[in-house]
Amino acid sequence: MRIVIGYPVKPHHLQQIAAAAPGAEVVDAGQQRIPEEILQADVFCGHAKERPVPWDEVVAGGRLRWIQSSAAGLDHCLTPSVIGSDIAVTSASGLFADQVAEQTLALLLGLLRSLPVFFRASQRREFIRRPTRDLHHATIGIVGFGGNGRRLADILAPFKTRILATDAFPVHQPPHVAELWPADRLDQLLTESDVVVLCVPLNRWTKGMIAASQLARMKSGAILVNVARGPVVVEADLVEALESGHLAGAGLDVTEIEPLPPASRLWELPNVIISPHVGAQAARRESDVTDFFCENLRRYLAGGTLLNLVDKDLGFPRPDQSWVMSRCQAG
Query: Which sequence positions are flagged as catalytic?
Result: 229, 258, 277
How far apart (Å, rounded) are the C-alpha atoms in residues 174 and 40? 45
Work out whether the CA dihedral 284, 287, 290, 291 comes out positive or negative: negative
Cβ-proximal residues to 287 (8 Å cutoff; 6+ apart), any chain: 13
Cβ-proximal residues to 147 (8 Å cutoff; 6+ apart), any chain: 72, 93, 94, 95, 97, 322, 323, 324
Contact 75, 53 (CB under 8 A): no
Cβ-proximal residues to 229 (8 Å cutoff; 6+ apart), any chain: 73, 75, 200, 201, 202, 206, 254
How far apart (Å, rounded) are the C-alpha atoms in residues 310 and 317? 4
Strands (E), 54-137: 66-69, 88-90
How far apart (Å, rounded) are the C-alpha atoms in residues 315 and 40? 25
3-state secondary structure at position 201: coil
CA 252 to centroid of chain Cα atoms: 12
How far apart (Å, rounded) are the C-alpha atoms in residues 222 and 210? 14
How far apart (Å, rounded) are the C-alpha atoms in residues 228 and 225? 9
Determine the straight-line distance between the first and last CA of the chain, rounded to whole angstroms. Answer: 36
3 state SS for 273-290: EECCCCCCCCCCHHHHHH
